[in-house]
Chains A and B, each alone.
Chain A
Amino acid sequence: MIPLLRHIFRTGILTETTPDAEGSPQREIDRLHDEILRILGRALTIREVDAGSCNACELEVHALNNPYYNLEGRGIKFVASPRHADMLLVTGSVTKNMENALRIAYDCTPDPKLVVAVGDCGCNGGVFGESYATCGAVENVVGVDLRIPGCPPTPLALMQGILAAVRKSR
């Protein structure tokens, strides 16, 4: 136990502030956090749905919870059920085999809900486009509030997109 605690102590806090175009970064995050709380009455919860990605977007969504970005430390967390979610974060050029599952997840998410399309595939179909096997952009299947392009988008882009979606919904 002692070596473990020593390791934690030695690692220290790695979390970085999020750069933002307007004003001081930390104050901006705090302000957004307050805004999220005011809008939703609680912390933001996200259900991530992979509707046909290559898994690269998922790797970057994972990275959001590493100590450098520490999304959960800002009250934004990923949940297992769409019924517990305020936001759907959808990746992939929606495959026909996932089309139904995505619709069901969308219907299970309580209103008011936000849908964010992640990655070039989610935004416009990406390299896979529309075909016999794919529906293309997420907005071809469910309504989308915000798009975060990139192949894959960086964790920073994801973070800024998630915050922008909340701000936009006001």
Chain B
Amino acid sequence: MFLCDDTSIEFTPQPGIGAPVWRGRAPSGEDLRSFAAAVHLAGGRIAAIWGSDSRQSGGGFRLHCVFGIDQGHAWLSLDLPADDPVYPDLSGIFPAANRMQRATRDMVGIASEGGDQRPWLRHGGWPADWYPLRHDSVREAGMGEGFPNAPTDYEFVQVGGEGAHEIPVGPIHAGIIEPGHFRFSVVGERVLRLEERLGYQHKGVEKLFIGADIARGAQLVGRVSGDSTCAYAWAYADAIEAACGVTAPPRAQMLRALLLERERVANHIGDLGALGNDAAFAFGLTQFFALKEQWVRLNQQLFGHRFLMDRIVPGGVVVDVDAAGLSAIVEQCTAIGAELAKLRILYDEHSGLQDRFVTTGIIDAALARELSMSGMAARATGILLDGRVHRQGYTPPPPYATLGVRPATDERGDVAARVAVRFDEAFESLRLLRQMAVGMPAGDTRVDVAPVPGAAGLGVVEGWRGEVLVGVQFAEDGSLARVHPHDPSWQAWLALEHAVMKDIVPDFPLINKSFNLSYSGADL
């Protein structure tokens, strides 16, 4: 059909009001590969890859690939035989598929044919032939499930030549941030290559979803990445609601957007301060962190949690806000907006700061497309891709369809561009929040959701980093059979490796912070 003309795959639209998703089943691995190639040719992206075990219900394994296309998302699944679960390597078409495929192998034991076979999430904490997400992998509960923890070496790509050497960094970093390992290959101070090794935050969250009920799933999904808890909770709610055939009431939809935009502003403000600090401009950290504190205090006052965890649930939201609360939001948006405008002038006119920001950590739009990037960092290369914004063939989900979000882009692709996009998006979110507070629909904030055995759904939400996806599958007994949360950091981590390549080692913290990617969200 519309997705590409030369494929035999039939797609059907997912019901519900969430971001548009089409579901299809690939008859063979070759069909999957040729569909992926067609998507790539049409300028599409690989959005997520995961696997599931359907042997209990008489099948084999199943590979799930979600592609970002003009019209929304295409969720393609491929059934694999239980005895030989292999599928064609997609990393030659989409480089971002590499780590997702390796993680799928580590977790479910279904592998790509050829390509990079290094483990990704498994560091030696469990045996290579034991796969956490297989139904028959259950061992008695308890610390480490009884496996010896035997950390393995990782085969980093080596860089040779006179004067070339390596700098290993992490997993514990110098600042107060999540753990991960960076291997720099350098000559002098110039970075020749960066290779990341992640997975240190792997908490086995996907396994915890198996057999959980909807409420426990909501609790877990809100803690996949704590800075994006609203985005994950909403994407999960969308997936559950699509599967169960319910629709959140209009007031709940608007409150969800209100919470998500508050999360976006909090993170952009915090990162703008941290970016100043990483360029030795402590004034920025102090000023922006003061604004962030005021911001999250109002979250606490109105919604009962500084980061808004557990406020968005399948069926709606568990909070409501009265007229006084809405006017407090409007007042705060005006006040914070005025402060931000002043700080932006100070940032823009500070020569020392701009010297660090401009031309540092560049990625261009062609690379961002090649790496299937989404979100703020992609928009900072000039790509106009925002799930909240109308584009040719795509209508954003409510309430964004009627809010009229103005996207922010910048074509420079450097740290300065990511700073500019963050400022612009923060201002736009403040405008949207004022608009939402004025136009908040009346009515209920929550409806009941009953699980539908065997049903599945996919939710997509434009979080502050980028596109957050959550895929959900119910078991025959109504419990969750499989939940896969996907963070935009999977794709953006690759962009970071490219962004530092022409710069010097001391610029890395600044470049890294300009992306501020999630470890926990991608390590699962």
Please give the residue numbers on chain A whose beta carbons come within 8 Å of chain B beta carbons, in ascending order: 3-4, 7-8, 11, 14, 48-63, 65-68, 78, 80-81, 92-93, 95-101, 105, 126-136, 140, 151-152, 154
Contacts and interface: CB of A to CB of B under 8 A. Distances in A.
A105 B343 CA distance: 38
A124 to B, nearest CB: 13
A134 B172 contact: no
A66 B172 contact: no
B330 interface: no
A95 B518 contact: no
26 contacts: A8-B283, A50-B179, A51-B179, A53-B226, A54-B225, A55-B178, A56-B227, A56-B309, A59-B270, A63-B293, A67-B293, A68-B293, A78-B176, A80-B175, A81-B174, A92-B201, A92-B203, A95-B125, A96-B123, A96-B125, A97-B171, A127-B208, A128-B208, A128-B223, A133-B132, A133-B203
Contacts of A61: 176
B352 to A, nearest CB: 11
A55 B290 contact: no
Interface centre among B126, B287, B520 (most CB of A within 10 A): B520
A127 B175 CA distance: 25
A55 B518 contact: yes
Interface residues of B, number: 61
B224 A96 contact: no
Interface string B291-302: 011001000000
A130 B143 contact: yes
B96 to A, nearest CB: 22
B28 interface: no
Given A127-B219, A132-B125, A55 B202 contact: no
Given A8-B283, A96-B202, 20 more contacts: A11-B290, A50-B177, A52-B203, A55-B226, A56-B309, A58-B226, A59-B226, A62-B176, A63-B293, A68-B290, A81-B174, A96-B149, A100-B149, A126-B223, A128-B208, A132-B126, A132-B132, A133-B125, A133-B132, A135-B143
Contacts of A152: 226, 307
Interface string B52-86: 00000000000000000000000000000000000
B141 interface: yes
Contact of A95 (B175, B200, B290, B345): B200
B289 A95 contact: no
* B contact face: mostly helix, strand, loop, or mixed: loop
A95 B202 contact: yes
Contacts of A129: 208
Cβ-closest 8 pairs across A and B: A56-B226, A133-B204, A96-B125, A66-B289, A80-B174, A54-B226, A132-B145, A54-B223
B142 interface: yes
Nearest to B122: A97
A29 to B, nearest CB: 19
Given A100-B151, A127-B219, A55 B227 contact: yes
A14 B286 CA distance: 10
Nearest to B307: A56
Contacts, number: 169
A34 B174 CA distance: 28
Given A4-B283, A56-B229, A105 B172 contact: yes
Given A4-B346, A56-B309, A132-B132, A97 B123 contact: yes
B168 interface: no
Contacts of A95: 125, 200-203
Contacts of A68: 290, 293
Nearest to B232: A54
Contact of B289 (A50, A55, A62): A62
B446 interface: no
Contact of A128 (B142, B151, B204): B204
A46 B377 CA distance: 33
B92 interface: no
B9 to A, nearest CB: 35
B108 interface: no
B200 to A, nearest CB: 5
A136 B224 CA distance: 16
Interface in B456-508: none
Contact of B227 (A7, A59, A67, A80): A59
Contact of A131 (B208, B274, B285, B349): B208
B457 to A, nearest CB: 22
A9 to B, nearest CB: 12
Nearest to A100: B151
A101 B178 CA distance: 13
B2 interface: no
A55 B346 CA distance: 30
Contacts of B307: 56, 59, 152
Interface in B327-386: 342-343, 345-346, 349-350
B223 A56 contact: yes
Contact of A134 (B174, B203, B287): B203
B207 interface: yes
Nearest to B345: A3
Contact of B178 (A58, A62, A128, A132): A58
A101 B139 CA distance: 26
A158 B204 CA distance: 27
